[in-house]
Amino acid sequence: MDDMSRRTVLAATAAGSLFAATRASAATGDTIPQPQRPGHGGTDPGPRNLMRDQQNPDLLVPPSTDHGTLPNLRYSFSDSHVRQESGGWTRQVTVRELGVSKGIAGVNMRLNAGGVRELHWHKAAEWAYMLYGSARITAINPDGQSFVDDVGVGDLWYFPSGVPHSIQGLGPDGCEFLLVFDDGEFDEDNTFLLSDWLKHVPEEVLAKNFGVSDTAFNTVPDPSKLYIFAAPVPGALASDKIAGATPVSQSFSHRMTAQEPIKTKSGTVRITDTSNFPASKTIAAALVEVEPGGMRELHWHPNTDEWQYYIEGQGRMGVFAASGQARTFDFMAGDVGYVPFATGHYIENTGKTTLRFLEMFKSSYYADVSLNQWLALTPPELVQAHLKLDPQTLAAFRKSKSPVVPG
């Protein structure tokens, strides 16, 4: 459906006329989704948000296997408030937006070329994935060691809690990235900002601390003018490295997409945790790609909750929470998903292009348990006693041990 046709359908639906909307939709070869399946549900005459219903078919018409009252496990960054500043913008998904996410919060940030995320630190550790462009990141650790690096699409960084750092967009068009914090209560408005601190220290104390005059810091801008602010694009990386400074013993950056992926018939997986990115002590992650028709197999994580970010494509996730509870959610680029600790789930590519998403965990290591592998490594007689399967099906378990399986 093109934009004009979609507007026609939406206008008709907004006017409260299901007949008019149905006719407008039929003229474009599309259909109005209805909350019904044979013998169950019924039509929705409106008012309704048709675009939302089209984006979430498994909420409107859940699979018959869904049951119970699982909480919402999906939130879109598109529904978040955007804070616009002179050097870019930012928005967040925390426990306030996604109530089930108590252990992890996320921030989506854009820095224009030269745009600076002000020198700051915070109580939560910060993990990041570069989505677009390139950036320069800086930090020092408690040993007084210095870190400066340039990062591009597919690169990560990790700053432990309390470590002061900055981010700046490079040319030609700055950058966009995802930040992940190991505290669901994190709020990006509650960080320790350089300008904010200086404005709340008496002038004579600043003078004594730095050995300068009482008026030396009168030119510091009001904190409301910084946070994300415009600045000149920096020069070559070498020019920003402090002469004589000792570099950090563990790099705060990592090239995730440069890792050799685990390859399957229907996709790839790259796993990053302390085994290959030692600095990242509290966040482990996997970058998953699923081709059309494929799926991230039935599995669960035995160590902690899972926080997801969808980068591109279209998919759906089915979640099983024991006691007969199950629910299905649909995802698009920019959406956040959440899976509670030890909860079984799968993620299926429902689109026509590659589905790419991140799995993140508040943990030093990545771990999952595959349903396929569990059954393959359990005595077949025991599996047969439980499931009453034919020998051919039992044999299939031993052939499928990949994290991404064909459709």
- Residues that are catalytic: 359
Nearest Cα to Cα of residue 331 among 320, 346, 344, 343: 346
Contact in structure between 254 and 274 (CB atoms under 8 Å): no
Please give the Cα distance from 281 to 274 (Å, whole number).
6
What is the DSSP code (8-state) at residue 245? P
Strand pairing class (295-300; 284-290): unpaired
Rg (CA), the chain: 25
Cβ atoms < 10 Å from Cβ of 180: 26
Q: Which of 31, 25, 33 minimizes the C-alpha distance to 5? A: 25
Crossing angle for the helix pair 3-14 and 18-27, to the nearest 10 degrees: 170
Q: What dihedral do alpha carbons 157, 163, 168, 174 form, nearest 10°?
A: 30
Spatial contact of 54 and 48, defined as CB atoms under 8 Å apart: no
Structural contact between residues 240 and 234, judged by C-beta atoms closer than 8 angstroms: yes
Preceding omega of 232 cis (within 30 degrees of 0): no
Amino acid at residue number 99: G
Beta strands in 104-212 (DSSP E): 105-111, 116-121, 126-140, 146-152, 155-159, 165-169, 175-181, 192-193
Rounded distance between C-alpha atoms, residue 377 and residue 2, angstroms: 50
Q: How far apart are CA 181 and CA 123, in angstroms?
A: 10
Are the CB atoms for 116 and 234 separated by under 8 Å?
no
Could you tell me the end-to-end alpha-carbon distance of the chain, in angstroms, rounded to an integer?
Answer: 26
Q: What is the DSSP secondary-structure string of 25-49?
A: HHHTT-----SEETTEE----SS--
